[in-house]
Amino acid sequence: MFSVDKMHFEISERKMILRFFDVFFVLGALFLVGNVFGFDYFTISTTNLYCIIVLGVYLNLFGVIFEMYNLQVASNQFQVLRSTILTASTTVLVYLLTPFFSPELPTKRIEILLFYLVVFMALFLWRMFYVAFLASNRFLQHAVLICDKEQVQELISGLEHIDPHYKIVAFVNADATEDEMAEYHYVPNIKRDELFSFVKENSISEIVIASQKTEGITTELYQQLLRLLESGSIIREYTQVYESKTQRIPVHYMSRDFYRFFPFSRSNHNKLYLLSVRFFEISTSLLGLAVGLLLFPLIVIGNAIGNRGKLFYTQERVGKDGVVFEILKFRTMISNAESNGAVFTTTNDSRVTVFGKFLRKTRIDEFPQFLNILKGDMAVIGPRPERPFFVKEIAEIMPFYETRHIIKPGLTGWAQVNYTYGVTIDDSLIKLQYDLYYIKHRSIFLDLNIAFKTITTVLFYRGQ
């Protein structure tokens, strides 16, 4: 019925493969070229291991910033070309200019050019192989979904839109009374008593259980699941799969049983972590304000020409524990932009001035918020603070919305680097899922990930 390969890769495994072979092929190509052509700058040996480590770190660091490890980008040959050029160019430039931890600059300029070409070609050819082979359909991860039939399309699209290598190939109807239906309009329906044989015949990777009605897991289906478990099949609950694939909390699916996800990340109460974060916030704020002062004359001129009014403005926002504070920003909208009441900012909002668009795209309009961070009203990383009017409106629709106020709001956050600017209630729901994921998994590693993605947002002019 289905042509299925047994081998597949999880998202984390794909990213690990990309990271490892980026470094492996670049170092291998440098070693080969260095020995064949006798260029000293390409010499790789045990005596200069620190140079190798630095180059590997740079490749991974700039690869993150230029989206080399975004699987959607890594699977597209045109986007791969752009990312590879940017990563190779930046890596080589910074590596050549790094003192002490990189070799002395070569005496022949041709070696610098060849160094760049080798790094670029090694990355590019390996990534083209990944697109053509490892990102192809032969390595799809196939799964069977157990759920109520009215949920099929919503649950499947929620997974497949995130991971292009994950595919639900069939579902088992978990309604208490199994209908006489051989096919369904979205994916094939298989009978409960055929589950074991279907999984074994089609090399299914995992079985995902999404039924919230216990009566749907009949004795017959339970016995099938036990046999699959004993035979080595992977059985997972839908919320676990959704969270690992999307890096969001599926609050739209869990209804009011959200409390099983508590307690949130231990980092929220870890004194050492919180102290480290506060030190980082103060350091970043001082650096940000210093940069802001350097840009201030240009901002004043731009505001006089493109905004024609006050440079700063304040607005009430909801902070930690629901406490309202005044946020400070550079003004990006026309005067009296909300004379008819508060509304969400939309894409290409006519109220945003020409200079305001530039400030938003580059995130320069956020620079005054470093003062809010120094005061302790905000953090560098956390859920974006929302206005009290919208908090009240959204909280009436989403029971868990105010959960995001258990930590300080941030200048940037997991939702901001993973999702576009929210203009509707549905957008707010998706951003809430990202915010709650951050609160649950908060850590130094996740904070660094957000910091690098924020750099990507600024470099690619994606601010809103």
Q: How far apart are CA 463 and CA 363, in angstroms?
A: 6
pLDDT tens sequence across 301-330? 998 988 888 899 899 999 999 999 999 999
Inform me whether the pLDDT recorded for 179 exceeds 70: no
Residue 107 vs residue 15, higher pLDDT? 15
Inform me whether the pLDDT recorded for 385 exceeds 50: yes
Q: How far apart are CA 263 and CA 261, in angstroms?
A: 6
SS (H, E, C) 80-103: HHHHHHHHHHHHHHHHHHCCCCCC
Question: Which residue type, as a one-letter code, is found at position 258?
Answer: F
Collapsing DSSP to helix, strand or coil, 163 comes out as coil
How high is the pLDDT of residue 118?
A: 93
Collapsing DSSP to helix, strand or coil, 146 comes out as strand
pLDDT tier at 49, thresholds 50, 70, 90: confident
How high is the pLDDT of residue 117?
A: 94
pLDDT tens sequence across 237-273? 888 888 888 888 887 666 655 555 555 667 777 889 9
Q: Cα dihedral angle (196, 202, 205, 207), rounded to 10 degrees?
A: -40
Least confident of 73-77, 147-151, 230-234, 261-265: 261-265
pLDDT tens sequence across 352-367? 888 888 888 888 999 9
pLDDT tens sequence across 15-30? 999 999 999 999 999 8
How high is the pLDDT of residue 2?
A: 41
Q: H-helix or E-strand containing 207?
A: strand 206-209
Q: Which residues are registered as beta bridge partners of 189? A: 171
Name every residue whose Cβ is closer than 8 Å to that of residue 287 and which is 6 or more positions away in sequence: none
Average pLDDT over residues 275-301: 94
* Predicted structure pTM score: 0.82
Q: What CATH fold (topology level) applies to the domain 140-246?
A: Rossmann fold (3.40.50)
Q: What mean pLDDT is reported for the chain?
A: 84
Question: In 3D, which of 134, 127, 111, 146 has the Cα closest to residue 34?
Answer: 111
Q: Residue 13: which region, alpha, beta or left (left: phi > 0; alpha: psi -120 to 50)?
A: alpha
How high is the pLDDT of residue 46?
A: 60
Q: How many residues does the chain have?
A: 464
pLDDT tens sequence across 134-146? 887 778 888 999 8
Inform me whether the pLDDT recorded for 4 exceeds 80: no
Write out the two tokens for 247. Answer: 């890096």
Inform me whether the pLDDT recorded for 5 exceeds 50: no
Average pLDDT over residues 391-418: 89
Q: How far apart are CA 197 and CA 352, in angstroms?
A: 60
Whole-angstrom Cα Rg for the chain: 26
The CB-based long-range contact list for 123-129 (8 Å cut-off, 24+ gap) reads 123/22, 123/25, 123/26, 123/59, 123/84, 123/87, 123/88, 124/80, 124/81, 124/84, 124/88, 125/25, 126/21, 126/22, 126/25, 127/68, 127/74, 127/80, 127/84, 128/77, 128/80
SS (H, E, C) 304-354: HHHCCCCCEEEEEEECHHHCEEEEEEECCECCCCCCCCCCCCCCCCCCECH
Write out the two tokens for 178. Answer: 């199994």
Question: 379-381 and 166-173 as β-strands: parallel, antiparallel, unpaired?
Answer: unpaired
How high is the pLDDT of residue 285?
A: 95
Q: How far apart are CA 80 and CA 128, in angstroms?
A: 8
Q: How far apart are CA 354 and CA 426, in angstroms?
A: 28
- How many other β-carbons are positioned within 10 Å of the β-carbon of residue 138? 12
Q: Return the ∠ at Cα 321 (arms to 317 and 323), rounded to 5°.
A: 40
How high is the pLDDT of residue 80?
A: 93
Residue with tokens 């080399």: 68
Residue 451 vs residue 338, higher pLDDT? 451
Percent of the chain predicted with pLDDT > 90: 36
Q: How far apart are CA 116 and CA 114, in angstroms?
A: 5
User: What ranges do the domains of the chain cover?
Assistant: 11-134, 140-246, 266-459
Q: How far apart are CA 409 and CA 215, in angstroms?
A: 42
Q: How far apart are CA 443 and CA 110, in angstroms?
A: 44
CA torsion sign for 402, 419, 360, 62 is positive
